[in-house]
Structure 1
Amino acid sequence: MSENLDTKALLRLMAWLSPAFPIGGFAYSGGLERAVQDGLVKDATGLKGWLSSLLRHGSLWNDAVLFSEAWRRFENEAALKETAELGLALAGSAERHTETLSLGKAFVAAAAAWPHPVLDRLPPAVPLPVAVGAVAAAHGVAVASALAAYLHAAVSQSVSAGIRLGVLGQADGVAVLAGMEALIIEITERASRITLDELGGAAVQAEIASLRHETQHSRLFRS
């Protein structure tokens, strides 16, 4: 890419993955709220461990694999449909399914501000990582840059949720983000090179927390 295209790609990533982008990500915690309720996450150290597990073995790992597949096959409508269906099938709870589907559909709607045929190739029911991966590829954003930004945004959202849940303060939240950089880079490098054969997870506590959140009476978040 030329320098101008690099700058354009950066600006689009900043817009698409900004907390201000109108997809409603602030309303979801991915089961973190229940993990806090159950005492599984009590402080900044616990939140960092929780997020590390999701990146290595849980939903964020699967998101990274799905993102990369959608990025590689953004021109193939049938492949995007299959990847989207697989992503939704991997949702371990009703709330997780609602979260990734709602955010994916909202992302596609908002991304229409940057018109591109890829938006018509995406299926109506599309999970967030598939939507962002395909749109990023269509606009010429390198997979490593796009995926790193996606994972950083997901971690940032969880840190923000942790702050709202009273697990940590803003200074500790920034420290958690800084401490996650190396792992985000590691996961980005791995997921950028592999196929759907590497899908799968072992973050059992996170899946249970997501399921238990469905019956939680008092809540701040939808998941």
Structure 2
Amino acid sequence: MHSTALLRLLQLASPSLPIGAYTYSQGLEAAIEAGMIKDEGSARACITELLSVAADFEAPVLWRLLKAFSARDGAAVTRWTECFAAARDTAEFRAETIQMGYSLGKLVIELKIADDSLLNILSSQPEIPLPTAFACAAEALAVPHEAALLGLLFSMIENQVLACVKSVPLGQVSGQRLLLSLHPALEAAASHAQRLEDDELCNWAPGLSLLSMQHEVQYSRIYRS
């Protein structure tokens, strides 16, 4: 990958990107509260399972959105945007992706990195979940699709690892060791997502949905999901 594209991807996937990713744990806080995550090994097992869920739905939807924005196919962008938003099966998960997508979409506009054709497609969406905004930003910044897919998956698990470091708690070294150990699973998830046909996409994850619903009424919590 060209150095310019790499630098742009690093900025897009950075935890310092002002879209509020650090305020969400994507169900991990409830798993920690329930005692499902108590050390590095159990954190790795849980995050790997969450990654496999993303590989079956969120990642392949992002892959299709990247292709759609590249082709300037507004109808395809709308189709997969609506599909992803409809698949968020708890109030927390829906609020999370819409808030982060709105923030990233606003950033794309304010940074003036996208051409009119991309902006018109983005602004025509009634709601903008995170994968839609991320795909638009990646296309605007000329980030290769394979790299953009890995970038979003990495930022997702990095955020989950940081949640474990803060809340289990795990030490910083343990957190970095955990993150390194997840690299093969990340590569496998990205590869899997690119091979799925439309009728193979699936967001079936009842355990994760239950954790999210439990978190919505959890008495003491730090994260918004």
Normalising by the residue count of structure 2, what TM-score does the alignment of the two structures yield? 0.91
Partner residue in 2 for 1:34: 30
Q: Do residues 66 (structure 1) and 61 (structure 2) align?
A: yes
Selected match of 2:80 from 79, 83, 86: 83
Q: Do residues 143 (structure 1) and 145 (structure 2) align?
A: yes
User: In 1, Cα distance between the equivalents of 2:55 and 2:119?
Assistant: 23
1:128 Cα offset (Å): 0.8
1:221 Cα offset (Å): 0.6
Identity of aligned residues (%): 30
| Pair 148,59 (structure 1): closer, same or farther in 2 beyond 3 Å | closer
| Pair 59,183 (structure 1): closer, same or farther in 2 beyond 3 Å | closer
Select between 142-151 and 59-68 the one with higher mean Cα deviation.
59-68
Structure 2, unmatched stretches of 5+, are none
Any conservation in 2 of the 1:143–1:192 contact (CA below 8 Å)? no
Encode CA deviations 1:186-219: one digit per residue, 9 max, x unaligned. Answer: 1111212334322213433222101111111211
User: In 2, Cα distance between the equivalents of 1:135 and 1:40?
Assistant: 36
1:155 Cα offset (Å): 0.4
Any conservation in 1 of the 2:32–2:38 contact (CA below 8 Å)? yes
Structure 1, unmatched stretches of 5+, are none
Partner residue in 2 for 1:15: 11
1:144 Cα offset (Å): 1.1
| Pair 110,93 (structure 1): closer, same or farther in 2 beyond 3 Å | same
Encode CA deviations 1:138-162: one digit per residue, 9 max, x unaligned. Answer: 4332111111111111000001111
Question: 1:72-151 alignment to 2 at 5 Å?
Answer: 72-74=67-69, 75-112=72-109, 113=111, 114-117=113-116, 118-122=118-122, 123-151=125-153
User: In 2, Cα distance between the equivalents of 1:86 and 1:76?
Assistant: 16
Q: Secondary structure at the match of 1:125?
A: coil
| Pair 169,124 (structure 1): closer, same or farther in 2 beyond 3 Å | farther
1:120 Cα offset (Å): 2.5
1:60 Cα offset (Å): 5.4
Over the residues paired in the alignment, what is the CA RMSD in angstroms? 1.6
| Pair 138,195 (structure 1): closer, same or farther in 2 beyond 3 Å | farther
Q: Do residues 193 (structure 1) and 195 (structure 2) align?
A: yes
Any conservation in 2 of the 1:41–1:167 contact (CA below 8 Å)? no
| Pair 96,218 (structure 1): closer, same or farther in 2 beyond 3 Å | same
User: In 2, Cα distance between the equivalents of 1:116 and 1:193?
Assistant: 30
Aligned length: 218
- Which residue identity lines up with residue 63 of structure 1 in the other structure? E
User: In 2, Cα distance between the equivalents of 1:41 and 1:150?
Assistant: 23
Any conservation in 2 of the 1:47–1:162 contact (CA below 8 Å)? yes
- Which residue identity lines up with residue 60 of structure 2 in the other structure? V
Any conservation in 2 of the 1:28–1:222 contact (CA below 8 Å)? yes
- Which residue identity lines up with residue 160 of structure 1 in the other structure? L
Encode CA deviations 1:49-78: one digit per residue, 9 max, x unaligned. Answer: 11111121x245421011101011111112
Q: Secondary structure at the match of 2:88?
A: coil
Any conservation in 1 of the 2:32–2:168 contact (CA below 8 Å)? no
- Which residue identity lines up with residue 115 of structure 2 in the other structure? H
